[in-house]
Each structure stands twice: as C-alpha cells, then as structure tokens.
Amino acid sequence: MDQFGFWRNTRGNLAITFALAAIPLVLGAGAAVDLMRQANANTLLQAATDAAALAGAASHSNSNEQVAKIANTYIAANDAYGVISSLSDVAVTSDTKAGVYSVRLTAKLNTSFMAIGGISSMNVGAYSEVSAGSQGTEIALVLDNTASMASEGRMPALQAAAKSLVDTVFTNKPANTYLKVGVVPFADYVNVGLSHRNDKWINVPADWTETTKNVCSVSYPNAVYANCHDVQGIYNNDGVPTPYTYQVCDTVSQGNPVTTCGDQIYQHKWYGCVGSRNSPLDLGVGSPGTVYPGIMDTSCTSPLTPLTDQVSTVQAAIAAMTPVGETYIPSGVLWGWNLLDNNEPFTEAKTNGQMNAIHGSKYMVIMTDGENTRSPVYPYHYGSDATQANTITSSLCAGVKKAGITVYTVGFKVQAQTSKDLLVACASDPSKAFDATDNGALQAAFDTIGQQLAALRLSK
C-alpha cells in the first residue's frame, strides 16, 4: 500500500467513525428538543389548569367532566393539540368550608426525536389551587344620591346594580371568613344618623323654636284671571337640564287685598346632615379632638350604614336611597373613608394590622352621575367653586389610597371630561375606573366590580 493509499483508507475509517458517533449526538440533541417541548407543554398546561380551576370554582362545579371540558377548550383555543395529544386524567377537589378548589391535569406529549429511541410520548401535568376571595374584606359603597339621580330612571338602575354587587360578594363569601359592607349615600351633605347627635365626635346645637310676633302678610284671594295657558320651561336639577310645566295667566282684576296677621313660628331642627371641618382637616379622617359640625335646618340623604356583616341591612339601606340635593363628591369620599377607618366616628372596621394578619383588603366603590356643583364655605357646602371641589376630591382620593384602600370609581352618564378625568385619577388604577353611559353599562360595571371583589385567587 502506498503512502497516499494509506491516508485515503484512514479518511474512510474516520468518516465511518464520525457517522456512528453522530447517532447518539443527534439523539441527544433531539432529546433536548423534546425536553424543551415538554417544558413548554407544562407551561401551557399550567395555564390551562389555572383557567380550568378559576372557571370551575366560579361555576361551583365539582364535575370532572365539566372541568375537563373547560381545560380542553383552553388547550384547543391555544392550538396545542398535536403537541399535547390528550388529557389522560382530570382530578377536581372542592372544599367549600375552606373556600379552596383545586384541579390537577395530566396529559400525554407526543415526542419527535425521542421516538427514534422508542419513547413515543411523555407525561406532562400541572396543578392549580384556587382560594375564593381573601380571608377578610371590607367594602364602603359611596353612592350618588343627588337630585339628578331622579332623572331617566337613574336611581332604580343604581339600586339594582348596587344590590347585585352586594349579593355577589356575600354569595361568594367562603365559610369562616370576614366580610363587612357599608353604604354612604351622598349629595351636598352626608347624613350620619340622628342617633349620633350626642356623640363626642360631633357638635350639633339643640333644636329650638323661633317665634316672631304679629307678622302680617297681604294676599288677593278674589283675583280674577283669564287666558291661562301652560308654558314649558327648563330648570337645572343638580347640573341636569330638566323640563317642567308652569301656568301663565292674564290678570283681569286683583280684587281687594286681604291682610292676615299672626305670630310666625320657625322650627330649627337637625336632620342628620354633617358639614366640613375647616381645611386641612376636611382632607382626611382622624384628629379626634376636632369635632364634625352638624348642619341645622338642612335636609339631606338617607342615613349612612356603617360596616356590617348583615346582607339584609345593606340591601335595606340601598333600597331606602332617595335622590335629593346637589353634588359634593368629597362629602361621600370622606365618610366612606371614615367607615373603613377603625377610629371614631365609626369603629366597626378592623385596623390595617388586623386585616394584614388575615390577608384581608379594604375597598371603596365611588359612584357619581355628574360633576361637583357645590364647594365648601366652611362648615357649609353651598359654594359653587367646582375647581376647589375637584381639588379637594383629588386630595381625599390620594389619602384614601395611601391608607391602603383600593378605590373603584364609576361615572354614570357623566358628560364633562374634567369629571371623567377626576374619576380615573381617583381610582387605584385605570382598570378600576368605569365610564357607564347607560343603565345597562352601569349594571355591567357593578357586576364586574362585584366579581372582582369576590374574586377567586390562585393560591398554588
């Protein structure tokens, strides 16, 4: 064999050697690809398990068949078949007392390169555990009860939506968990309830009677009118143009005047309305040494309802709401904050430390149908500086959020962009600000909030 033939034969031997060695290298590389596909399949299956567990728990289903259907739908929607060949096992457990719901899925993964080595499939699987809500929830519903809510069926729509939210959170409350809800109807003032008149945190003068002696008035009871006809007019009802009808007549004769004299008696009473403490105390709760001023001779909304775990009490408060007065949003926000603060005026709430110990959360839901039409002239709310009122609203919202309270806002048929922006900024994040343009959208907003407040959370 010559020198060149030797090298030719050596190269041939090396080629065969490399070809034989390449087989396990290719199989190894292929196995790595399949293992990567297995990891991806596990990730996909975990998402499917999470979706199945959340949906199954929300539907309160204990059916393996139903949960398997949910998981299969998710897998198909993500175009995963062909990678995951089939679900081989679905295991569902539900502990309603503990509020825990779990789903375990096992599936087969078709291999590619590993099939050459006789391994045609691998097991993949995932497990998800869902807890219904937290172990503690406090909710303050701050709801617009101004006169504009008497228009277009707004108040009945709000009552239906708020009742639905309350039903949702109480119905989905796991056993042995803490839940309280309070209601703050607001207009230009908030009504804290007549029973608190003598509490140390409020200053209310005594009711009194004022008598003016021998007051005379003149009337024309014998006047004659002609050509009477109805006239259509429009008046501003808390910022909402509202049509009304009045009568106009020509006076034919006034007739002889009649003078009536007598004592004039005025009853000065407190109806439960509370005004603002001087700035900057009107921007927060606390400061127990500084009392809230009771406002005399002023009608206001139905009384607020402190935090309670009695759903019937909350529903009754919502049913009792009646539209009256003008809009001063800070009044509602402040007293919603007072409900969620454990210090006086109301002490039904837990401290933040107590809530943290049970993994609990505090929430405020603020709903209004318009812009601020009133501003403070301390302690009263009869000013008309909307800019001032908006600034106070923003400051209160910031304080509420800083106190660890999650804020949802719902604008209902709000027209002014300034007010829309105010509500978005007030919410804890833009996803928690809802702009409802009609009654149906209001219901949908409250349904969404209710579902989130009773939300199922993945614990594993």
Predicted pLDDT at 162: 98
> Would the pLDDT of 213 be above 90?
no
Domain boundaries defined on the chain? 3-132, 136-206+272-458, 208-268
- Higher pLDDT: 39 or 386? It is 386
Q: Does domain 136-206+272-458 correspond to CATH entry 3.10.28.10?
A: no
Among the residue ranges 131-140, 173-182, 187-196, 328-337, the one predicted with the least confidence is 131-140
| Residue pLDDT, tens place only, 78-101 | 555 556 766 677 777 776 556 677
Q: How far is CA 28 from the centre of its chain?
A: 54
Token pair, residue 184, equals 């703050």
Percent of the chain residues topping a pLDDT of 70: 81
Judged by DSSP in three states, 4 sits in: helix
Predicted pLDDT at 6: 46
Identify which of 113-117, 235-239, 251-255, 313-317 has the greatest average pLDDT: 313-317
- Higher pLDDT: 65 or 413? It is 413
The mean per-residue pLDDT over the stretch 302-326 comes to 97
The mean per-residue pLDDT over the stretch 214-225 comes to 92
Any alpha helices (H) in 59-97, and if so which ranges? 64-77
Residue identified by tokens 């005004």 is 275
What is the secondary structure of 408-438 as a DSSP string? EEEEES---HHHHHHHHHHSSSGGGEEEE-S
Q: How far is it, in rounded angstroms, from Cα 327 to Cα 65?
A: 53
Provide the pLDDT confidence category of residue 32 given band limits of 50, 70 and 90: confident
Predicted pLDDT at 103: 79
Q: Which of 83, 93, 1, 11 is nearest to 42 (CA)?
A: 83
Query: What is Dmax (Cα atoms) for the chain?
Result: 152
CB atoms within 10 A of CB 238: 24
Q: How far is it, in rounded angstroms, from Cα 57 to Cα 454?
A: 12
Among the residue ranges 33-37, 97-101, 284-288, 409-413, the one predicted with the least confidence is 97-101
Q: How far is it, in rounded angstroms, from Cα 317 to Cα 451?
A: 21
> Would the pLDDT of 191 be above 90?
yes
CB atoms within 10 A of CB 170: 18
Q: Which of 370, 416, 295, 339 is nearest to 142 (CA)?
A: 339
Q: Which of 309, 244, 283 is nearest to 399 (CA)?
A: 283
Predicted pLDDT at 117: 63
| Residue pLDDT, tens place only, 403-425 | 999 999 999 999 999 999 999 99
Predicted pLDDT at 22: 47
The mean per-residue pLDDT over the stretch 339-356 comes to 95
The mean per-residue pLDDT over the stretch 200-205 comes to 96
The mean per-residue pLDDT over the stretch 43-62 comes to 68
Among the residue ranges 31-35, 78-82, 108-112, the one predicted with the least confidence is 78-82
Q: How far is it, in rounded angstroms, from Cα 19 to Cα 42?
A: 35
Residue type, 230: D
Q: 125, 45 in Cβ contact below 8 A? A: yes
> Would the pLDDT of 53 be above 80?
no
Predicted pLDDT at 311: 97
Helices 154-171 & 439-453 angle (0-180, nearest 10): 20
Predicted pLDDT at 424: 96
Predicted pLDDT at 358: 86
